[in-house]
Amino acid sequence: MMKKNMKKRLIRALAAASLGGLLMAGPVMGAEQAASTALEQNQNVQASLTKEAGKKADEKRQEIISEAVSALQETFNALKALEAGKKEEALKALANATGKLELVVARDPKLAFAPVDVSMTTFDVLATAQDVTMARKEVMRLLKEGNLPAARELLNSLRSEVVVSVAAIPLATYPDAIKAVTPLIDQGKVEEAKAALEAALSTLVVTRHVIPLPLLRVDEALVIAEVLAEKKDRDEKENQALENALDAAVEQLKLAEALGYGTHADYEVLQDQIREIREKVSGGKSGTGFFEKLKQSLLELKADIFGSKEEQKPKAADEKKGTTEK
């Protein structure tokens, strides 16, 4: 009965969101939605977004320490050897892992976490800022009713982001945990040794860095708008294209704010700066440097969000990467 009620509530929430979209798509559709639709139809946008997110992931990949990766692999080798009853191979693998970790610590004694893996996951939601606001209200209603499963499922869908996850070995505990396994093997306590290795692997820390997709789409819209703003003697179509690009940026900023990427104060500054640009380009006026403040503010917001991180100790280890994603 509870599952049926949950499904009804979710359907009702999605229907409400769809209704909001249909109302916006009617005959009185504003320039904001028209601009957003035009921007979404640009085939180059998605490729550009993927490229930008990929750059961030590559930056994190450069931080990966090869010796730490080897140490992690040797830990898996030791566990595999124990499962096969090959104690000597396990001891050799553990010795190799210990040596690799000692090298990492010797190179940088202040290093707390040694990165071993980077992955990138994309989440997106096909909704307007108004849809998201309605869905948030539905989440609050479900929470008040105590229906956490339904609220959790709906809330989890309200994401438009690329998540760059970095898995790392905690150097304060992992090396000692590995060393403690050797005496267990020497004493013939194979099951205890295996459990200790699995416990060590489960302490890998995953740090997640978030890149909001709406803010990357704002970047794309501003590239178009800036080129047009600098052009002298724009014709009517070009003036409309400029307005459309600015409208698209505004709508994506609204969506980003509705999804919780930053504070209301952050977006007030950005929206004010777009209004200033509109005034400067009104009546066909043109010029350079109109977008500098806006681009800087946007860059700082993205840096703040990407820099914020959530650390988590996985409950279990994945054999290939030694991490568990949720």
* Lowest-confidence segment of 9-13, 40-44, 157-161 by average pLDDT: 9-13
pLDDT of res. 249: 97
Q: State the Cα–Cα distance between residues 241 and 235, nearest whole angstrom.
A: 10
Q: Evaluate if residue 227 carries a pLDDT over 50.
A: yes
Closest CA to 127 of 219, 16, 26, 218: 16
Task: Judge whether 249 and 225 are in contact, CB under 8 Å.
Answer: yes
Q: How confident is the model at residue 11 (pLDDT cuts 50, 70, 90)?
A: very low
Closest CA to 167 of 309, 8, 10, 5: 309
Residue 212 exposed, middle or buried by CB count within 10 Å (0-12, 13-18, 19+): buried
pLDDT in tens, 108-165: 999 999 999 999 999 999 899 999 999 999 999 999 999 999 999 999 999 999 999 9
Where is 208: in which H helix or E strand? strand 205-212
Residue 48 exposed, middle or buried by CB count within 10 Å (0-12, 13-18, 19+): middle
Q: Evaluate if residue 43 carries a pLDDT over 70.
A: no
CATH 2.60.120.10 given to domain 63-122+159-203: no
Mean pLDDT of 240-261: 96
Mean pLDDT of 3-28: 38
Mean pLDDT of 87-112: 95
Q: How confident is the model at residue 47 (pLDDT cuts 50, 70, 90)?
A: low
Quick count: other Cβ atoms within 10 Å of Cβ 114? 25
Q: State the Cα–Cα distance between residues 155 and 117, nearest whole angstrom.
A: 28
Q: Evaluate if residue 28 carries a pLDDT over 60.
A: no
Higher pLDDT, 156 or 309: 156
Beta bridge partners of residue 164, listed in sequence order: 120, 209
pLDDT of res. 240: 95
